[in-house]
Amino acid sequence: MTTEGMRSLASTQVRRQASSLKGGFRWLRVRKAPWIPMFVLVVMVLMGAFGPYLAPHDATYGGLEFGLAPPFWQEGSLSGHLLGTDFQGRDVLSRILDGARITMLSAVIGLIGACIIGVSVGLVSGYFGGWIDAILMRAVDFMLALPGLLLAMVAVAAFGPSLRIIILVVILSAWVPYARYVRAETLSLKEREFVLGAIATGCRPLRILVRHLLPNTLAIVLVIATLQTGGIILLVASLSFLGLGIPKPTAAWGVIIADGRAWILQAWWISIFPGIAISMLIVSLNLVGDWMRDTFDPKLRAR
């Protein structure tokens, strides 16, 4: 065998070993996937989608004669009320299931709106640059300096508490990270060969933004959305708890916790169980988001 043949054979073997190692690392990442948080997220999504149909009782009506019944494992519990009742006799489990739909719906709609606005701003700012970039980034700086809670207070004082106001506050508070990260990614992508080739062939800026730049930023957008969803759900619950969000008697998780605040020593289950649901959802989202960031980050993939 000639020297060139031996070199070619060695190169082929090295490529096969590298491919095998790469496949092994991919399998390792799959094995390290947070399966328990993923399972929790699936359960929470099913609760949000089918909660009102799974609830054993009406979430907004009860009876005073059934008020403050403890969970099923404590003495004095009522049959059919697994997690007890609140001071108005409303079933806590039913309110948690119904509140999952309201809380997740407001968070998801607000997240989608923030994603659309932030990605659009980031693409336009990073691609065109110049005075357009300067104006858009000053708007980003302004929103960063504006606390979300203060914005919610002003909006509620002006228009009153409602689901629409909560969604609007979420959108205005959450679009900034998308704009910053997508802009940074666009600044790097627009110098790549495929973008320069599209410009050379006469593609319009809108087509370049939609067909070439946007698909290459979806990975980072997905990671940001996963990491940000937990914070948005916490913001929605916090505003509802403070009376600045979803109004009573709607069974949002923050409203349920606020209802049980006055009874925390006598009937701890009213506030504790929805608090556990919020904590489980936020922790699961953060763990899944961390795993997705490690998976999609090319620097971490190269290790």
pLDDT digits (tens, 9 = 90+) for 18-36: 444 344 444 445 556 788 8
Residues 27 and 46 in one domain: no
Residues 20 and 94 in one domain: no
Residues 40 and 24 in one domain: no
Residues 169 and 42 in one domain: yes
Residues 108 and 25 in one domain: no
The whole-number average pLDDT for the span 172-192 is 89
Please report how many Cα atoms fall inside a 13 Å half-sphere around the Cα of residue 40, on the Cβ side: 17
Q: What is the C-alpha separation between 299 and 303, in angstroms, rounded?
A: 7
- Per-residue pLDDT of 276-302, as tens digits, reads 999 999 999 888 888 887 777 655 454
What is the reported pLDDT for 31? 58
| Residue type, position 276, single letter | I
Number of domains observed in the structure of the chain: 2
Residue 121 clears pLDDT 90, i.e. is over it = yes
Residues 276 and 224 in one domain: yes
What is the reported pLDDT for 30? 58
The whole-number average pLDDT for the span 241-261 is 83
The whole-number average pLDDT for the span 108-136 is 91
Residues 134 and 226 in one domain: yes
Q: Which SS3 state, helix, strand or coil, does residue 88 take? A: coil
Residues 20 and 98 in one domain: no
CA dihedral 159, 162, 168, 174 (to 10 degrees): 130
Higher pLDDT among residues 276 and 246, named by residue: 276
Residues 213 and 110 in one domain: yes
What is the reported pLDDT for 29? 54
- Please give the backbone phi and psi of residue 91, each rounded to the nearest 5 degrees, phi first: -70, 125
Residues 245 and 197 in one domain: yes
Q: 55 to each of 13, 67, 69, 88, 251, how far by Cα in Å?
A: 60, 18, 17, 17, 12
What is the reported pLDDT for 117? 93
CATH of the domain at 221: 1.10.3720.10
Q: Which SS3 state, helix, strand or coil, does residue 207 take? A: helix
Residue 18: which domain range? Answer: 1-32
- Cα three-residue angle 38-235-116, rounded to 5 degrees: 75
Residues 28 and 57 in one domain: no
Residues 109 and 138 in one domain: yes
